[in-house]
Structure 1
């Protein structure tokens, strides 16, 4: 069982995040609480820090992952069709009504911003040891909204008018505000990396977020939905990206010493040296993470099933890796190949059980009703149900598409706690710092500290035992490497847009005549969000 890292008793008092009505006077939602109670203050702060937990544990993952080339969200003769919510993401036909379960994470994230503002209003900005990391969390939540939805309200209580009406600000203005906030708080955020700061904003989280902001600067400050936008246009913030990466590198607090597969297992946590900023999950005290439910094949819970311990509850199995993405895991000796149930170099994959403790493949065959289970890399849908992405409600339909086992569960915990897992989900990693610096230099930034794109790239290849390269990587090399390295970590959609690859053909996008509309680079607001915020307009193209 995973060791539980408890910061204090206050962390067990996390409240449920609710949607925030932005039409009311913002200040009216702030309530006083005992400012002299250390436990109450810490509970409120931790509540703000972890406001993204529920969304990240399921619905954000569903939408963002299936909108990239990582997954085709299939259904099985009606099972897991759910109004085509996830299928629509895979087809780039996201619908403001049918996809509301995923799109409504907007309100969850917005609620995190409100919680941060509550703390800042009640405790004041003067106590920078409290206000700086809270402002960093608020900037992070604002970044998530801006990254996925474009124009976003800047909800800093200092900037609110007397009427409390919140308008969406232009995306470029939001990017500049996020930058100014992060630069303002950076030096006052904790520099300690320990159990007590794990999962909370630190100076290194701020640097990582700045690097992410800068590498995408042209996406955020130009009209990315315009045909004139170019993924290779000059980026004025590339040297700033390198500087932010260098600050993390020079700290000496992070490295790539952890085994690739082990660091995503159910017992990961503050001891992982690659994790700069992560969302902690625990099947008992911090629930909500259920990735294995949708990535394990549809009948994988049976005896002689996917794991060496049978699952007590059924699983979805509706998130299948696209053949195009699965083929990235083709490098000989690459440890990352072990986080998919599939072989990139073959069209089929004989499925053996995975040891429920180690996550490694055993020599025991996975069978279903006496038939050996074989996954197919290719996904074939029943033509008359095209938009349903229906592969069929039988063994042939259930085994289509290779599967991700990157966030391998503790099966006994999953059985005991309603499919909940204890795998922490990294948001920023040291490996990302190295690859962002590599990319920035390839795009035109000045090299620093003796690093070259080749040396940075090879640090990644070396730690996973993959073949190193003998020349500078191309942008395509970097995009492919990012796919291998960050599967299931919710950066692939962001990467595809930045590299100008979001409209490339994959999966079943060809079934949607509007799949290549440039407006798809922004998600629509759900009708629920628009009904609450009647002064807002829907994003173009929806």
Structure 2
């Protein structure tokens, strides 16, 4: 089924007429008539839907996970230092030239593509349902850059030559996203099927709105450094609960019957009932997903049988190691999510079930692979975070096998077929629980504890007997959504982003703790393109 869906995407993309990918658009150079029928509309939108496939597949992941408490990027004898583009996020020492934050222009070009679709389908004269998907993607792309860079342009139009594109205050951007979503949600399809998988639906837009509402106090603070988690008041909590209720009441999603690990395996797809919105990948026809490469033990390609249960055709990068503070979350008795993290003596996994076997994984010398929970630098205070270019260095830090690697999906430049969930039903349950704990009104007989325990019961972890605290919720979100790019977002909202973890310590020479680091600096290429923009505070 999954391959059929992805083949359909490839056909739609091939059928797509060439669109504009630059922000500055010469209107006269574009065609002004477009055939309006279901096939034409679908083909035109397809390029917008999957525009961020490459960004999500690597750079976005690096920016999100490495700046959170999930991971640290280490280097091996200078290898994988790459001018600090990975270590800088781990220390909140962002630089304007870092490749890990160079993708804002790609997101903006996605907004331009969406605006081009809207124009070509008739603009204000278009049938609302025809342009609603493009508007949903435009709102989603705007949310991403607003979340990461704060003040960003509201581009609900196609600029013409010599237009000066200006950045709007973050709070204004958040309110614009809200108004867009509220207007288009009734116009989007509520269908959940193979046909709508990976595309904007009513439920995708509502999940985005719920994410906007739970972070409302963050996004509408007078400045990024003025948000204080302990005292902030969120006026949108009940709105957040209302949106979550609509998704829950739809009956179209659930935590599903498949084991946790299978949701993220190379054969995942529209059959995962937990996925509200996901980015589809395929090792040949929809490339860009490379999460396994960064997280896999570096010598995994040099052994006859990797801990994935097979010989790998490619080497691994292995530069993303789990922080010890984060790995300690995976300690609940019976929790099936624990098996998605490997540490200590590593066992070979069954590539069919994605579960560990009793067989011990061996390194290239025939010795057991043993991963240490702690990560120690070869030279103290080394800003390159070097751990040594040897087996000892490669074996520092626990690793994730959540987006499981198989060799059949690893032969084409290490591109995986694991689809990436962006919004999940599990997130809706925990978001509603959080909104209630923060002061929202419980509804439909559901309490924060009952919602929280739905996750715990599914995960086969111990149930709570009392209302979860905010710390309980943050920890559970870490266990449930690690590797899914929400941890940075969560930590800022919960007020833990400036905590110490990994080498992000007060005594490390280049670690930064200013609250202005909650958003990224504008990349130097962006400032060169828009010289009238000013750099974000603190950079």
TM-score (norm 2): 0.94
CA contact (8 A) 2:297 2:395 kept: yes
Residue of structure 1 equivalent to 2:525: 528
Residue of structure 2 equivalent to 1:213: 212
Q: Decide which moves more: 43-52 or 5-14.
A: 5-14
* Counterpart Cα distance in 2 of 1:454 and 1:306: 37
Residue of structure 1 equivalent to 2:53: 53
- Within 5 Å, give how 1:38-117 maps onto structure 2: 39-97=39-97, 99=98, 101-117=99-115
Q: What's the CA shift string for 1:132-175, capped at 9, x where partnerless?
A: 111011000000000010001000117x5885221011000000
**Alignment root-mean-square deviation, CA:** 2.1
Residue of structure 1 equivalent to 2:248: 249
- Within 5 Å, give how 1:299-448 maps onto structure 2: 299-301=299-301, 302-342=303-343, 349-368=344-363, 369-384=365-380, 386-415=382-411, 417-448=412-443
Q: Decide which moves more: 77-86 or 218-227.
A: 218-227
How many residues are matched?
Answer: 531
Q: What's the CA shift string for 1:482-523, capped at 9, x where partnerless?
A: 000000100000000000110010000122455111110011
- Match of 2:260, SS state, is coil
Residue of structure 2 equivalent to 1:133: 133
Q: 1:504 aligns with which of 483, 499, 502?
A: 499
Residue 351 and residue 102 in structure 1: after superposition, are their counterparts in 2 closer, same or farther (change >3 A)? same
Q: CA deviation at 1:248?
A: 0.1
* Counterpart Cα distance in 2 of 1:26 and 1:508: 48
Q: CA deviation at 1:225?
A: 3.1
Residue 365 and residue 479 in structure 1: after superposition, are their counterparts in 2 closer, same or farther (change >3 A)? same
Q: Is there any run of 5+ residues in structure 1 with no aligned partner, and where? A: 343-348
Q: Is there any run of 5+ residues in structure 2 with no aligned partner, and where? A: none
* Counterpart Cα distance in 2 of 1:9 and 1:411: 23
Q: Does 1:173 align with 2:172?
A: yes
Q: What's the CA shift string for 1:226-269, capped at 9, x where partnerless?
A: 35634442110000000000000000000012321111111010
Q: CA deviation at 1:129?
A: 2.0
* Counterpart Cα distance in 2 of 1:486 and 1:2: 23
Residue of structure 2 equivalent to 1:345: none
Q: Decide which moves more: 313-322 or 365-374.
A: 365-374
* Counterpart Cα distance in 2 of 1:277 and 1:321: 26
Residue of structure 2 equivalent to 1:346: none
- Match of 2:276, SS state, is strand
CA contact (8 A) 1:356 1:411 kept: no
TM-score (norm 1): 0.94
* Counterpart Cα distance in 2 of 1:338 and 1:33: 54
Residue 144 and residue 30 in structure 1: after superposition, are their counterparts in 2 closer, same or farther (change >3 A)? farther
Residue of structure 2 equivalent to 1:223: 222
